[in-house]
Every structure is written in structure tokens, then in C-alpha cells.
Amino acid sequence: MGETRGRETDVRSWFTEFLDAHRGVRLGRLFGHPAAYAGRRVFAYLMEDGIIVKLPVDVARRERSRGATPHTDASGKDAWMTYRPRTVEDARRLWPILELAARNAADIA
């Protein structure tokens, strides 16, 4: 349990670092968890077991073929994907995906 809690804290720090490094995005809450917003649209949020990211459908399909896990949300959209980085380095590799998700959220806002 302690190892999971430590990893969760590291990923939360990384998440905040990502948001601080990008203009036009902000930290908020969704379902009581830290969430990333572009304007009023959420594009990613942290859960205990990973990072849930909203991607354009074509990118989500590509990511699914690379092993990302589809995440089911209340709206039934298939563009939400779950990533489970094991280390902060794994999480940092997700920066391009989060950047794409932020741009997509900003474009549809």
C-alpha cells in the first residue's frame, strides 16, 4: 500500500508539473480527483490506478492498438483511454498524448 501511495504522489507531482509547463490549461477536480482542464473542458484526470485521458477517436484507436486500455465513462464515448504509468519516467512519456488531448479539448471548446 505504501508503494502505491508513493507512486500516486509522484504521478500527482508530475501531473501538476505538466500543467504548470503549459499555458491555457489548469488544475481542477473531477469526481473528487485532480483533473486537467483546457478552458471549461476536462481532458485528463487522475484515478488511483492511472491517468484517464480524452483523445480524438482516431488517436484513441491508435493508442488502443498500442496497448492503452479503453475507459468507459457515463457518456459511452470511446475516446477516453486509461494509462497506468509505473514510474514518473513512464508518466513523462505521456506528455505528447496529454498535449494532444489539451489541444483537442481547446479546439472543441
The 8 Å CB, 24+ separation contacts for 101-104 are: 101/36, 101/43, 101/44, 101/53, 101/54, 101/55, 102/22, 102/24, 102/25, 102/36, 102/38, 102/43, 102/44, 103/38, 104/43, 104/54, 104/55, 104/56
What ranges do the domains of the chain cover? Answer: 2-108
Q: Which CATH architecture has domain 2-108?
A: 2-Layer Sandwich (3.30)
Continuous segment of H or E residues that includes residue 2? helix 2-20
Q: Note if the pTM is more than 0.95.
A: no
pLDDT digits (tens, 9 = 90+) for 38-58: 999 999 999 887 899 999 888
Gap between the Cα atoms of 24 and 30, Å rounded: 18
The 10s digit of each residue's pLDDT in 53-91 is 999 888 888 988 887 888 865 454 458 999 988 888 888
The SS3 call for residue 80 is strand
Contacts of 59 (CB under 8 A, 6+ apart): 97, 100
Average confidence score pLDDT of the chain: 84
